[in-house]
Amino acid sequence: MLPLEETLTNLDIYLGDACNLRCIQCQCWINESAPHFDPDVLEARLFEAVEYAATQCRSFEKVMLIGGEPFIHEGMVRFLAKQKIDTCITVYTNFVWPDPNVVLPDNVYFLSSMDAPNQEIYGQLRRTRDFDYSQETMRERSGQLLHVDTTVSKGNLHHLDSILDRTKDHGCTHWFLPIDPRILRYHDAFVKDPRLGTLTERATAERTAKRAQVLLLDDDDIRVVEDFYRRCGSARTNDFETFLGIYLSSVDRFKKESFGYRPDLSVRRPNVGAQQCPGIRRYMEIGFTPDGRFIPVIHCPELTEIFDAKQGPSADSFVEVMAWENQARRRVGCQVFCGHTQFLGIDEYEGTFREVMLD
């Protein structure tokens, strides 16, 4: 297997769950111990990781900063504003920024979520009055906006045309992705082991999971989405087959959970083999401990099983993280595409998701 320095194209940097919204389908905002990093430490860590990727990895394409909401971290904003690194840096943001006037260099681009066409639906799904503000910030930054994702649920299913319409002048791609039941799993983990959450976290997770459950998509909804693609699909959007493949992968991913997500469906996943898996060759994710040490995030389910963990050992330098990643990835031998991996930004995944089928 080639060293990761030869093949890495995408580095995702996860800034923890802290967020300024309370979206009904997402668990990030429920986590009361989500880290708020020391700005100086975060700024220095981001310089270290991104400079390494940009200078030492010969096929490198782009960084994605994601949370929670990245723009609430002062250290990240400072890093973005100061850096002149020769690589593409994307930030996945809800555009509800504490400082909409911040000046950012031209190598900084945006990815965003947009699940509502108006304040009424935004209020139901994202539960603040920030719709106009987020749209205005998005419009002002549209020159640097690469991509928008809409999480499709029963809460916006009949408004997909007008949601797509909102980005037509921005020159960005716009994907539609199915809601998954991650918040139900989050709540279930608290039920199984109440020590995992505070009293407030457990109560909030229970209430939110109940509200999200009624938003999950059924077969009739999938047909509505198919019809939407037939009418409105274009080079700017993903296609229905990709949407369906992502939906089915998530059905497969959550099939062992006790809340019984679509037990009627049995899914077949394509063969890829570890050597072909873009996640293993090209993709890497890191996070940070609350005091700012690096953590390698394990996104490959086979590696999660091998290490019985979702993250590698914390490290004081990015060089150490890369050394651990290089060792760990050699141990993978899977044959079947797991559909668990990130796909945003790696085109190879789009084709693979199209091959996920009903058995």
Ligand X SMILES: C[S@@+](CC[C@H](N)C(=O)[O-])C[C@H]1O[C@@H](n2cnc3c(N)ncnc32)[C@H](O)[C@@H]1O
Residue selected from 30, 77, 121, 179 as contacting ligand X according to rule CB under 6 A: 179
Which range, of 1-9, 19-27, 38-46, 228-236, touches ligand SF4 by CB under 6 A?
19-27
Nearer residue to ligand SF4 within complex by CB, 22 or 87? 22
Nearer residue to ligand SF4 within complex by CB, 123 or 233? 123
Nearer residue to ligand SF4 within complex by CB, 300 or 315? 300
Residue 234: CB partners within 8 Å, gap ≥ 6? none
Residue selected from 16, 35, 67, 339 as contacting ligand X according to rule CB under 6 A: 67
Q: In whole angstroms, give the CA distance from residue 269 to residue 284.
A: 22
Question: Taking the CA of residue 232 as centre, how many other CA atoms within 13 Å lie in the half-sphere pointing to its CB?
Answer: 19
Binding flag, residue 13, ligand X (CB under 6 A) = no
Find which of ligand SF4, ligand X, none residue 130 binds, CB within 5 to 8 Å per kind. Answer: none
- Measured CA distances, 265 to 252, 253, 281, 343 (Å): 8, 12, 31, 23
Nearer residue to ligand X within complex by CB, 7 or 10? 10
Which range, of 132-140, 174-182, 212-220, 294-302, touches ligand SF4 by CB under 6 A?
294-302
Which range, of 215-223, 248-256, 300-308, 319-327, touches ligand SF4 by CB under 6 A?
300-308
Residues 63-102 within binding reach of ligand SF4 (CB under 6 A):
67-69, 94
Q: In whole angstroms, give the CA distance from residue 315 to residue 77.
A: 23
Minimum distance of ligand X from residue 254's CB (angstroms): 11
Binding flag, residue 280, ligand SF4 (CB under 6 A) = yes
Binding flag, residue 15, ligand SF4 (CB under 6 A) = no
Binding flag, residue 156, ligand X (CB under 6 A) = no
Q: How many residues bind ligand SF4 (CB under 6 A)?
A: 26
Find which of ligand X, ligand SF4, none residue 66 binds, CB within 5 to 8 Å per kind. Answer: ligand X
- Cβ neighbours of 266 (radius 10 Å): 12
Q: Give a three-class secondary structure readout of the chain.
A: CCCHHHHCCEEEEECCCCCCCCCCCCCHHHCCCCCCCCHHHHHHHHHHHHHHHHHHCCCCCEEEEECCCHHHCHHHHHHHHHCCCCCEEEEEECCCCCCCCCCCCCCEEEEEECCCCCHHHHHHHCCCCCHHHHHHHHHHCHHHEEEEEEEECCCCHHHHHHHHHCCCCCCCEEEEEECCCHHHHHHHHHHHCHHHCCHHHHHHHHHHHHHHHCCCCCHHHHHHHHHHHHHHCCCCECCHHHHHHHHHHHHHHCCCCCCCCCCCCCEECCECCCCCCHHHHHEEEEEECCCCCEEEECCCHHHHHHHCCCECCCECCHHHHHHHHHHHHCCCCCCECCCCCCCCCCHHHHHHHHCCEEC
Which range, of 2-10, 101-109, 189-197, 329-337, touches ligand SF4 by CB under 6 A?
329-337
Minimum distance of ligand X from residue 68's CB (angstroms): 6
Question: Taking the CA of residue 287 as centre, how many other CA atoms within 13 Å lie in the half-sphere pointing to its CB?
Answer: 20
Residue selected from 12, 43, 69, 285 as contacting ligand X according to rule CB under 6 A: 69
Which range, of 170-178, 192-200, 251-259, 297-305, touches ligand SF4 by CB under 6 A?
297-305
Residue selected from 7, 10, 90, 113 as contacting ligand X according to rule CB under 6 A: 113
Q: State which residue has the least CB distance to ligand X.
A: 113
Nearer residue to ligand X within complex by CB, 70 or 278? 70
* Residues lying near ligand X in the complex (CB under 6 A): 19, 25-26, 28, 66-67, 69, 92-94, 112-113, 115, 149, 151, 177, 179-180, 182-183
* Residues lying near ligand SF4 in the complex (CB under 6 A): 19, 21-23, 26, 28-29, 67-69, 94, 113, 272, 274, 277, 279-280, 300-302, 332, 334, 337-338, 340-341
